[in-house]
Amino acid sequence: MPKRTDASYWNKPQLYPFTDKELAVNNYQRYLLDKTLHLFEWKNLPSTIPQRELELILQVFGSGTFTTVNGELYVFKANLGGQPNEYYFPTLSIIANPYLKFNAQLKINEECIVMFNDSLLTGIIPLANKYITQMVENDITQNLANINMRLINLIACKDDDDKARAEKFIKDIISGKLSALQSEEFFGAITTQPYGSTGQGNQVTQLIEYAQWLRTSLLQEFGIRTENGNVKREYVSDSEIAMNDVNSFLLYDMLYNRKLACEKVNEMFGTDIQVDYSELIKNEMEEQQDDEYREEDEKKVETDEEVKEGDSDATE
């Protein structure tokens, strides 16, 4: 299979390799990062630290190390090690950057600042893979179900001549010929066995609903809400309620650690780097808050109506 950088990749349509699980997982990861790289908005970053590269390092590797090289501030993917401190956290950030020809073991909080993506430096990939792995398996199952639905009957032939006549008969039907006449001898020589299941339609529907639930659940982990109208409410309602609480904590934790490190970076290197939720996330939060207020108002109206009905019954 040609690489994406090869001209032949774009000139010739490529069938999606459903059974290549590792490639499919990697593709889902990339498309997710396309979205999560816009969870936060940065201000006053130096030209040596593009926002995309900073977020990519944090989200994929769990942390990034800020330090200066030749008087310029950079953020690096680094390994943390050295003698642990009193809380068993590494004290050194080990950097190796071939392009800048920079190799160093820097003391954390003295010669460099380590910014966490989250409190446990996990990054988003392990959590994402929980859903993505199931999404890939679901894609494979959907693809197999789709192919199997083409087979309504299996045809058994006694010899090669009957096989050739059967193939021509099927080809005539596929080509749209209004008549495909065969002899009685031909129909007596073949047998058919039902293959397709009457429940396959329902199975495909369930797989589609499951795929939508996985996608919605994954995005909600990062505060991105999606319309999920085709999924039965009783199937996802409890999960959605739970995740609306959880994803706020995850996003808060990611922003908290970025702000905490920004204060240290600004103090050590004399910068004024700032970070906050992106407009996308702010809008999501406002819409969620509006929905909560709307639900509260609806419940209040229902309660008032019930009270009025109760007073009316008591008067009668």
Q: What is the pLDDT of residues 92-120, one digit of tens each?
A: 999 999 999 999 999 999 999 999 999 99
Q: Which of 4-18, 58-72, 174-188 has the lowest mean pLDDT?
A: 174-188
Pairing of strands 92-97, 274-277: unpaired
CA distances to 48, 228, 293, 307 from 301, in Å? 56, 27, 12, 10
Specify the pLDDT at position 150.
66
List pLDDT tens digits, range 229-282: 455 444 444 444 444 444 578 899 999 999 999 999 999 999 999 999 999 888
Assess contact for 243 and 269: CB atoms under 8 A. Answer: no
**Which one, of 25, 51, 26, lies nearest residue 39 by Cα?**
51
Q: How far apart are the first and last CA of the chain?
A: 81
Give percent above pLDDT 90 in the chain: 52
Residue 93 neighbours by CB under 8 Å, 6+ apart: 65, 67, 76, 78, 79, 80, 105, 106, 108, 112, 114
Specify the pLDDT at position 149.
73
Q: Is residue 164 part of a domain?
A: yes
Q: How many structural domains is the chain composed of?
A: 1
Residue 63 neighbours by CB under 8 Å, 6+ apart: 57, 78, 80, 114, 115, 116, 117, 121
Only one residue has tokens 């816009």, namely: 38
Region 204-232: what's the mean pLDDT? Answer: 81
Q: Is residue 172 part of a domain?
A: yes
Q: Is residue 85 part of a domain?
A: no
Evaluate the CA torsion angle 162, 154, 148, 173 in order and state its sign: positive
Other Cβ atoms within 10 Å of 100 Cβ, number? 14
φ, ψ of residue 111 in degrees (nearest 5): -115, -10
Q: What pTM was estimated for this model as a whole?
A: 0.75
Q: Is residue 226 part of a domain?
A: yes
Specify the pLDDT at position 162.
75
Specify the pLDDT at position 283.
85
**Which one, of 212, 226, 277, lies nearest residue 250 by Cα?**
277
List pLDDT tens digits, range 122-165: 999 999 999 999 999 999 999 888 877 766 666 777 778 778 87
Q: Which domain holds residue 180?
A: 125-233
Q: Is residue 84 part of a domain?
A: no
Q: Is residue 48 part of a domain?
A: no
φ, ψ of residue 44 in degrees (nearest 5): 65, 30
Q: Is residue 133 part of a domain?
A: yes
Q: Is residue 80 part of a domain?
A: no
**3-state SS assignment for residue 66:** strand
**3-state SS assignment for residue 233:** helix
